[in-house]
Copies of this chain bind each other. A is one copy, B any other.
Amino acid sequence: MIIVMKAGATKKERDEVLKRIRELGYKPHVIHGSTRDVIGAIGDERGKAVLQKVESMHGVENVLPILQPYKLASKELKKEASLVRVNDQVCIGGQQLIVMAGPCSVESEEQIIESAIAVKAAGAQMLRGGAFKPRTSPYSFQGMEEEGLKLLAKAREVTGLPFVTEVINPETAELVAEYSDMLQIGARNAQNFALLKKVGQLKRPVLLKRGMSMTIQEFLMSAEYIMSEGNQSVILCERGIRTFETATRNTLDLSAIPVLKGKTHLPVVIDPSHGTGNHHYVAPMCYAAVAAGADGLMVEVHPDPENASSDGAQSLKPVKFAAMMEKLKLFAAAAGRTL
């Protein structure tokens, strides 16, 4: 922690800061500058509300943290990439690229089974589908709930594909975990800490979506919440951030891939469907994500997008998805990956 004193700070103010730093268990170290003093405080600054206890003191201009506030998610703790296993069937974070595909919402037995068969045929290794849906409007379709989970399980029986589905409430988290192979935390719940703690106590891998206005650091802090409760199987999913641009629903931040790869050992997956909100842009962004080093993709596929209950505009038809997967193999190969 570095404390920058104000240009005109008095000796008394500086001494107060030094005293406070020692009380907080740090070893202070003063650097006398030409216009101001700077104090280095040595010690672990994580897990304590230390910065603010100093930054509101008289004579202090600014306090700069040195360490990253996350530990378990950090590459400093664990250098090699983590592999997240789903039922000994699928392994995310390794050499093989993992594609999770399926409709936004489960709507009927026919729809989810047709989707599952189609995405499997095209090469996807996991099925996705929402049973509990977080919708901006209370008047929109809220999902089939437990009935949807049962249909997802049926689709798994038919195709053998494990599935990931969203959990939106601590009260129903265990129910969702019973049926599903992987839990998804949606962007709007990415800082719902009660929910993060809950899934941290469950025995299912968690796909954590980045919140719409979450920094990379906050994203890793939310992963840390899950991990600090005991669940180390966390997959990070970039799905677009909110910016001023309106030509796309969100702005897909693909540079998050190399940034995250530099900071954490957790696998990184990209969701270009929500990231762009437009099915025309999904395939190019899939190719780009793989080229940038993503470990996997999450893609919305619907047999009849025009009649989807949610997110039809960003869903691929099975035939387009299959064509995309075909071309994706070329990019996966260029990236040294198998698909």
What is the interface of chain A, defined by CB distance below 8 A to chain B?
Answer: 2, 4, 7, 20, 29, 31-36, 38, 40, 42-44, 46-49, 52-57, 64, 66-67, 69-70, 76, 134-141, 168-171, 188-189, 191-195, 197, 211-213, 215-218, 221, 224-225, 228-229, 241-248, 251-259, 262, 275-276, 279-281, 284-285, 287-293, 305-313, 315, 327, 330-331, 333-335
Contacts and interface: CB of A to CB of B under 8 A. Distances in A.
Contacts of A251: 241, 243, 251, 253, 255
B7 A193 contact: no
Contact of A291 (B169, B306, B331): B331
Nearest to A8: B76
Contacts of A135: 193
A61 B108 CA distance: 29
A69 B2 CA distance: 19
A98 B275 CA distance: 28
Contacts of A241: 243-245, 251
Contacts of A311: 52
A335 to B, nearest CB: 7
26 contacts: A2-B2, A7-B76, A20-B306, A31-B40, A33-B42, A34-B43, A40-B40, A46-B137, A46-B139, A47-B137, A48-B139, A53-B306, A56-B312, A64-B64, A170-B171, A171-B194, A188-B193, A213-B213, A215-B244, A215-B245, A242-B244, A245-B253, A255-B281, A259-B281, A287-B291, A288-B289
Contacts of A36: 66
A279 B56 contact: yes
B215 A213 contact: no
Given A55-B313, A246-B215, A285 B292 contact: yes
Given A137-B224, A194-B171, A308-B52, A255 B242 contact: no
Given A34-B42, A194-B171, A245-B216, A56 B313 contact: yes
A70 B245 CA distance: 18
Nearest to A31: B40
A134 B293 contact: no
Given A40-B40, A49-B140, A333-B334, 12 more contacts: A33-B66, A34-B42, A49-B309, A52-B308, A52-B311, A56-B279, A56-B306, A135-B193, A168-B193, A188-B191, A211-B213, A334-B334
Nearest to A213: B213
Contact of A330 (B42, B247, B315, B334): B334
B259 A248 contact: yes
A252 B238 CA distance: 14
Nearest to A246: B215
